[in-house]
């Protein structure tokens, strides 16, 4: 099963920093931004996280929470979060449950080698738990501002 635009999120349960377990039922009543990124402490992923951090107050003012997701461990996430002072939780998805649900595992190439990895993607869910917008193959510069504008426009 995979998420579809304008459909409620299917059930899932994942672990996040702050000793949290997150499921769609926990998120009802607030807008949710979930961004998937390849790896903690890499340049693009660090910049993207910092952009979300720097605009987090505006996301909160728009009634939204933000979650970052990668396959890194909770321990690595906790260090990454503390190092860059992220005010939002990071979800650890080592078994790719959430990655597969949102269809972000893609065949990638690096130095001529093919491997499966996370394609940088962001999803906006409304306060009823319905997927309203998705950004795939994200380029970091300007992305967070675009997501914020969409979040603010979502009633």
Residue pLDDT, tens place only, 10-37: 999 999 999 999 999 999 999 999 999 9
Element (H, E) at 144: helix 143-153
Pairing outcome for strands 14-16 and 105-110:
unpaired
Domain boundaries, the chain: 28-153
- As a whole number of angstroms, the distance between CA 60 and CA 147 comes to 13
Q: Alpha helices, DSSP H only, in 12-90? A: 24-27, 43-54, 56-61, 74-84
- As a whole number of angstroms, the distance between CA 146 and CA 7 comes to 22
DSSP type of residue 37: -
Q: Are 125 and 27 in contact (CB under 8 A)?
A: yes
Residues tagged active-site: 45
Can you give the pLDDT at residue 92?
97
- pTM metric for this prediction: 0.95
Low-confidence ranges of the chain (pLDDT < 70): none
- As a whole number of angstroms, the distance between CA 41 and CA 115 comes to 20
Can you give the pLDDT at residue 110?
80
Strand-pairing partners, residue 125, are 32, 131
- Domain 28-153 CATH assignment equals 3.40.30.10: yes
Can you give the pLDDT at residue 20?
94
């Amino acid at each position: 099963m995979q998420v579809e635009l304008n459909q409620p999120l299917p059930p899932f349960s994942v672990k996040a920093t702050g000793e949290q377990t997150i499921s769609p039922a926990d998120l009802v009543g607030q807008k949710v931004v979930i961004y998937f990124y390849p790896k903690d402490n890499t340049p693009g992923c660090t910049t993207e996280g910092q952009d979300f951090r720097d605009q987090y107050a505006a996301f909160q003012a728009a009634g939204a929470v933000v979650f970052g997701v990668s396959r890194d461990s909770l321990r690595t996430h906790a260090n990454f979060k503390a190092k860059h002072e992220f005010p939002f939780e990071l979800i650890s998805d080592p078994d790719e449950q959430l990655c597969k649900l949102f269809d972000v595992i893609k065949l990638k190439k690096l130095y001529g080698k093919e491997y499966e990895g996370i394609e940088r993607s962001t999803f906006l869910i409304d306060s009823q738990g319905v997927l309203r917008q998705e950004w795939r193959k994200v380029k970091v510069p300007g992305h967070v501002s675009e997501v914020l504008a969409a979040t603010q426009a979502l009633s």
